Structure 1
């Protein structure tokens, strides 16, 4: 499993190409040749970039869902809507498909934010707004999500 670290401000050109920061490209080097999958986020107005190995692990989990249950079938359809395979080119650029740029309202200023094993791709203004909106409740959220048994935390 790969764990990405960092938040990076970038620019997208008119064709949707984003130059990856050197630090992030170095972190991606073990998985660069495998390619990536890009998709819309389930919960936020951003995109998610999955290394192919991480995507395949997720698809194994999804493939265990009973597709004869309507809710599972509906979820899989919606989850995979707009999914694209992408690569990082030789110069370190990621081409974000136009329809996904539109969905995430990405224009020029972009934030690439590590989210453990994936990278979130945000319009900078949307990213700043989400951080601002969740700042007040973050302590309570941290306690709820991470606060359980002391043995579970390093």
Structure 2
């Protein structure tokens, strides 16, 4: 799958359904038949929407862990806690199960943000706080994470 691109705002209804914006739905179209996996994020108070093909890649990595090592077993249990298979219906809506709505504290205003090969689903206020530069200096973070990479032929990462 190609990288998913964009950040989109939408509304969730009282049942936890949200209408996917057309540009995002178009990008996810190749995975509509296979479905998606929705899970809690490990690091943030948001949800992660995996196209099934991407989920299978992740599960192949996790499947290599030795389950007779307690730490590995604990990780697998926590990583897969609350995981749900979800579909995008014919109208382009995604139903977020109630327990995941509660976990991410999703109210009405929602942000769908691409994260390379998955989509993060955020309550809008929580998303805005997570990208607030006053909390984390993004320039310093970018330099620390990407500053030593130089793998492009043109010398630009």
Q: Which sections of structure 1, spanning at least 5 residues, go unmatched?
A: none
State the Cα deviation string for residues 31-75 of structure 1 (Å, max 9, x = none): 111100000000000000000000001000000000010000000
Q: Alignment partner of 1:42: what SS?
A: coil
How many residue pairs end up in the alignment? 154
The match for 1:115 is 115
Map of 2:47 onto structure 1: 47
Give the CA deviation at 1:136: 4.3
TM-score when normalising by structure 1: 0.96
Root-mean-square deviation over aligned CA pairs: 1.3
Structure with bigger helix share is 1
* Aligned match of 2:89: 89
Q: TM-score, normalized by length of structure 2? A: 0.94
- The superposition leaves residues 83-109 of structure 1 with CA deviations (integer Å, 9 ceiling, x where unpaired) of 000000000000000000000000100
C-alpha separation in 1, matches of 2:21 and 2:149: 38
- Partner of residue 101, structure 1: 101
Look up the match of 1:9. Answer: 9
Aligned mates of 1:3, 1:14 — CA distance in 2: 31
- Structure 2 unaligned residues grouped into runs of 5+: none
